[in-house]
C-alpha cells in the first residue's frame, strides 16, 4: 500500500489531506509507518524496520500494521492500486 | 547494545475540532498503579484477574464524613447499613464497628445480620417480602419492623394477639416529592391518605408499638430538596399522631438513595463534578425536620439507611485486556475480562476506567466489551482511552455498591474479593468460585447420569 502523494505529513505527526480538508494526528509509530508507506516500502520491510527500532514482537507489529493500514484506507489516504 | 524504544501501537486519529461527539473528552491523565499503597500489579498477581478490591480506609472515612455531616446539624443521628448494597460480611462488620445498625430487606439478610452479631433490636426490617416465620423471629428479637402493606400489618397484629408480644413497628410511607419516577410501590401513600389510614389502624388496635416513620423516596437522587419535602411530610404525620393520640414516634427514618460520585448514563458532566454531596442532603433533611411543627419532648432519632454513597467509592474492579478489535465502522473495540456479569452497574453508569500502566498522550475512541459471548455485554459504549494492549491492566472505579450483591454467575465464575485494611494489608474476604461451588448444588437424576455420543 502507498499513501497518496498530495498527503502532507509533518515531522511531529500532523497529517493533512488537501483533497478533503481533513486533518489527522499520528503517534510516533504511526508516523514511522506513514513515512515508510510514502517511500513505497512493503509490509515485510516495515515490520522488520519497526522490530529493529522498537521493543515488540514481530507478530504484534504485523497485526498492528494491518490494522493501521486498514484505518489509512478508511480515511482515504491511500493510493488506489489499479 | 542499543536499547530499543518503547513500543506503542500505531494510531491515526481524525481531528474533529469543535465537533461534539458521544465519546467526550479525554478524562484519564495518570495511570492508577496502586490502591491504598498496594500495587495493582501485585494484587492481580496474588488474587487473579479480574478481582474486586475494597478499601477499608475509604469505607471508614466516607462513613465518618457522612456521620459528621448529619451530627453537626442534628442532635440524634443513627446510620443503619443497607445490607443489599453490599452484604459481604467483612464490609458489614466495618460498618457495625463504626456504629451502624443493620437495615435488611429479606429473611436471608436478617439472618446474616444476626450471624454477624447484630442485636435484634438494632435491625431494621424493611421490604415487601417478610414471611410469617421472618416476622415471628423479628418480633421475638425486638427488631424494628417497617410495614410495607396492609396484609403485613394484619399478619403482625395476628402474631401480636397470639403471642401477647407488642411488636415495634413503623410504616413505610411513599409520597410525591417532586421527582420522577415516584416510588409508590413500596409502603403507604401520603397524599391519598393511605399512610394516615394505616397509622390509625395501628393506633386503634393497641396491639403494636408505633415507634417510627419511614420513607425511601428513590435511588441515586440528584435533588436534595426532594428529601426536604419528604422529611416535612413525615414530620407532619408524626405531628398528627401526637396531636390525635398523644403518642410520640421515636424516630424518623429517611431511608437511603443518596447519589455517589458515579456518572449516570446520559449525563453531560461527570458525577464527581455535579452530584450533590452528603452535606447537601444532610442540610436539606435536618433543616426540614427542625423547621417542622413536630415538637416531641426529645427530638426524634434521625435514621439514615445510606448505602451507595458510603461504599461506592471504596470499591475497585481490576481487570485485563483480552483483545483489541476493529469494528466495521472503524471504531476501536477492546475486550476486557470484566463484563456485565460482574459489573451490573455498567447498565446505569458510565464507569470511570483508568489504565494501570504508563501511557502516552494519545487516546482512541473505544467501545469496551466484556468477555461474555452475549451482545449485552458492554462495559462502556463510548470512552476516550489511552492505547491499550492485550494483557494491559485496567482499574474500574466506584464499584463498591450493588455489584457484589447483584453480580451474576453467568457464563463465568465470580472472582476473588479482597479488602485492603487500614495498614495497607490485603485480605481475601470472598473466595473465587470454582466449578464445584456451582455443581455441588445440582442433582442429576439416575436416568440422566450416563450418555453415549
Hey, what's the torsion of the CAs at B383, B385, B391, B396, to 10 degrees? -60
Q: Is residue A40 part of a domain?
A: yes
CB within 8 Å of A37: residues ≥ 6 apart = A1, A2, A3, A46, A69, A72
CB within 8 Å of A76: residues ≥ 6 apart = A17, A20
User: A47 — contact with chain B (CB < 8 Å)?
Assistant: no
Confidence bin at B12 (pLDDT 50/70/90)? very high
Confidence bin at B23 (pLDDT 50/70/90)? low
A68 and B5 within 8 Å at the Cβ level: the answer is no
pLDDT for B124-182, tens place per residue?
999 999 999 999 999 999 999 999 999 999 999 999 999 999 999 999 999 999 988 88
In angstroms, the CA B275 to CA B264 distance is 10
- Residue among B406, B52, B58, B87 nearest B260 (CA): B58
Q: Which domains does chain B have, with CATH numbers?
A: 34-53+313-433 (2.40.37.10), 127-304 (3.20.20.10)
Q: What is residue B414's predicted lDDT score, i.e. its pLDDT? A: 97
Q: Is the pLDDT of residue B28 over 80?
A: no
Terminal CA-to-CA distance of chain A, rounded, Å? 11
Contacting B residues, span 320-349, partner chain A, CB-CB under 8 Å: 324, 326, 330
Residue B40: strand, helix, or coil: helix
Out of B5, B6, B326, name the one closest to residue A67 (CB). B326
Q: What is residue B267's predicted lDDT score, i.e. its pLDDT? A: 85
Residue B38: strand, helix, or coil: strand
pLDDT for B46-71, tens place per residue?
999 999 999 999 999 999 999 999 99
Q: Beta-carbon neighbour count of residue A7 at 10 Å?
A: 21
A27 and B10 within 8 Å at the Cβ level: the answer is yes
- Cβ neighbours of B7 in A, within 8 Å: 29, 50, 54-56, 60-61
Phi, psi for B395 (deg, rounded to 5): -120, 125
Confidence bin at B22 (pLDDT 50/70/90)? low
pLDDT for B289-308, tens place per residue?
999 999 999 999 999 999 99
Out of B4, B10, B13, name the one closest to residue A29 (CB). B10
- Cβ neighbours of B3 in A, within 8 Å: 55
Q: Is residue A18 part of a domain?
A: yes
Domain range for A24: 8-74
B399 within 8 A of B52, measured Cβ to Cβ:
yes
B11 and A33 within 8 Å at the Cβ level: the answer is no
A68 and B10 within 8 Å at the Cβ level: the answer is yes
A81 within 8 A of A7, measured Cβ to Cβ:
no
A55 and B326 within 8 Å at the Cβ level: the answer is no
Q: Is residue A79 part of a domain?
A: no
CB within 8 Å of B136: residues ≥ 6 apart = B159, B163
Tell me which of A10, A23, A28, A59 to substitute to probe the interface with B (most B C-beta atoms closer than 10 Å).
A28
B177-182 contacts, C-beta under 8 A, 24 or more apart: B177/B217, B177/B218, B177/B226, B177/B227, B177/B229, B177/B230, B177/B233, B178/B223, B178/B225, B178/B226, B178/B229, B179/B217, B179/B218, B179/B221, B179/B223, B179/B226, B181/B218
CB within 8 Å of B250: residues ≥ 6 apart = B211, B212, B300, B301
Q: What is residue B26's predicted lDDT score, i.e. its pLDDT? A: 66
A75 and B12 within 8 Å at the Cβ level: the answer is yes
Phi, psi for B323 (deg, rounded to 5): -165, 160
Strand partners, B303: B78, B253
A15 and B11 within 8 Å at the Cβ level: the answer is no
Q: Is residue A29 part of a domain?
A: yes
Q: Scanning every residue of chain A, which has its alpha carbon at the shortest distance from the alpha carbon of B386? A: A27
In angstroms, the CA B134 to CA B397 distance is 37
User: B11 — contact with chain A (CB < 8 Å)?
Assistant: yes
Looking at every residue in chain B, the average pLDDT score rounds to 95
CB within 8 Å of B31: residues ≥ 6 apart = B354, B355, B356, B357, B358, B359
pLDDT for B371-403, tens place per residue?
999 999 999 999 999 999 999 999 999 999 999
B371 within 8 A of B337, measured Cβ to Cβ:
yes
Confidence bin at B268 (pLDDT 50/70/90)? confident
Q: Is residue A33 part of a domain?
A: yes
Q: Is residue A69 part of a domain?
A: yes
Answer yes or no: is the ipTM higher than 0.90: yes
Q: Beta-carbon neighbour count of residue B279 at 10 Å?
A: 16
Mean pLDDT over B404-430 rounds to: 97
B330 and A74 within 8 Å at the Cβ level: the answer is yes
- Cβ neighbours of B387 in A, within 8 Å: 27
- Alpha-carbon distance B95 to nearest alpha carbon in chain A (angstroms): 48
Mean pLDDT over B347-355 rounds to: 95
HSE, CB side, 13 Å, CA atoms: give it for residue B19.
Answer: 6
What's the domain count of chain A? 1
Out of B4, B10, B387, name the one closest to residue A33 (CB). B10
User: A72 — contact with chain B (CB < 8 Å)?
Assistant: yes
Q: Is the pLDDT of residue A82 over 60?
A: no
**% of chain B surpassing 70 pLDDT:** 97
pTM above 0.80, yes or no: yes
pLDDT for B219-263, tens place per residue?
899 899 999 999 999 999 999 999 999 999 999 999 999 999 999
Amino acid at each position: 500500500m502507498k499513501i497518496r502523494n498530495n498527503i502532507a505529513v509533518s515531522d511531529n505527526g500532523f497529517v493533512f489531506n488537501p483533497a478533503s480538508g481533513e486533518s489527522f494526528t499520528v503517534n510516533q509509530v504511526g508516523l514511522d509507518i506513514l513515512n515508510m508507506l510514502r517511500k513505497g516500502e512493503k509490509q515485510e520491510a516495515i515490520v522488520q524496520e519497526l522490530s529493529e527500532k522498537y521493543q515488540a514482537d514481530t507478530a504484534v507489529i504485523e497485526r498492528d500494521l494491518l490494522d493501521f493500514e486498514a484505518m489509512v484506507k478508511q480515511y482515504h489516504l491511500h493510493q488506489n492500486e489499479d | 547494545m542499543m536499547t530499543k524504544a518503547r513500543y506503542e501501537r500505531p494510531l491515526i486519529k481524525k481531528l474533529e475540532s469543535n465537533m461534539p461527539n458521544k465519546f467526550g473528552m479525554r478524562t484519564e491523565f495518570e495511570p492508577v498503579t496502586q490502591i491504598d499503597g498496594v500495587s495493582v500489579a501485585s494484587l492481580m498477581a496474588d488474587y487473579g484477574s479480574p478481582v474486586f478490591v475494597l478499601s477499608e480506609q475509604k469505607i471508614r472515612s466516607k462513613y465518618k464524613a457522612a456521620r459528621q455531616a448529619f451530627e453537626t446539624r442534628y442532635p440524634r443521628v443513627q446510620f443503619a447499613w443497607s445490607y443489599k448494597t453490599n452484604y459481604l460480611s467483612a464490609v458489614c462488620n466495618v460498618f457495625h464497628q463504626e456504629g451502624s445498625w443493620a437495615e435488611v430487606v429479606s429473611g436471608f439478610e436478617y439472618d446474616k445480620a444476626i450471624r454477624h452479631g447484630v442485636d435484634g433490636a438494632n435491625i431494621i426490617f424493611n421490604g415487601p417480602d417478610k414471611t410469617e416465620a421472618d416476622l415471628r423471629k423479628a418480633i421475638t428479637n425486638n427488631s424494628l419492623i417497617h410495614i410495607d402493606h396492609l396484609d403485613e400489618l394484619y399478619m403482625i397484629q395476628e402474631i401480636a394477639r397470639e403471642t401477647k408480644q407488642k411488636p415495634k413497628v413503623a410504616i413505610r410511607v411513599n409520597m410525591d416529592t417532586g421527582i420522577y419516577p415516584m416510588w409508590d410501590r413500596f409502603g403507604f401513600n401520603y397524599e391519598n391518605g393511605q399512610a394516615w389510614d394505616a397509622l390509625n389502624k395501628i393506633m386503634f388496635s393497641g396491639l403494636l408499638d408505633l415507634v417510627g416513620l419511614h420513607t425511601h423516596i428513590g435511588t441515586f437522587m440528584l435533588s436534595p430538596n426532594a428529601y426536604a419535602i419528604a422529611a416535612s411530610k413525615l414530620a407532619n404525620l408524626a405531628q398528627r399522631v401526637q396531636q390525635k393520640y398523644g403518642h410520640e414516634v421515636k424516630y424518623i427514618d429517611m431511608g437511603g438513595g443518596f447519589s455517589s460520585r458515579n456518572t449516570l448514563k446520559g449525563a453531560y458532566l461527570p458525577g464527581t463534578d455535579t452530584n450533590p454531596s452528603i452535606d447537601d442532603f444532610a442540610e436539606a433533611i435536618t433543616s426540614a425536620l427542625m423547621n417542622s411543627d413536630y415538637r416531641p419532648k426529645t427530638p426524634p432519632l434521625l435514621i439514615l439507611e445510606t448505602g451507595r454513597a458510603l461504599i461506592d467509592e471504596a470499591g475497585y474492579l481490576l481487570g485485563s485486556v483480552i483483545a483489541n478489535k476493529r469494528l466495521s465502522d472503524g471504531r476501536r473495540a477492546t475486550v476486557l475480562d470484566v463484563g456485565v456479569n460482574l459489573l451490573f452497574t455498567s447498565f446505569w453508569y458510565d464507569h470511570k476506567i483508568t489504565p494501570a500502566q504508563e501511557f502516552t498522550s494519545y487516546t482512541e475512541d473505544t467501545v469496551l466489551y466484556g468477555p461474555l459471548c452475549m451482545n449485552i455485554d458492554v462495559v462502556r459504549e463510548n470512552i476516550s482511552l489511552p492505547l491499550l494492549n492485550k494483557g494491559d491492566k485496567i482499574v474500574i472505579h466506584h464499584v463498591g455498591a450493588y455489584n457484589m450483591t447483584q453480580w451474576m454467575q453467568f457464563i463465568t465464575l465470580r472472582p476473588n474479593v479482597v479488602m485492603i485494611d487500614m495498614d495497607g494489608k490485603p485480605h481475601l474476604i470472598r473466595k473465587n468460585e470454582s466449578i464445584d461451588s456451582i455443581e455441588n448444588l445440582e442433582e442429576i437424576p439416575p436416568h440422566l447420569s450416563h450418555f453415549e455420543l
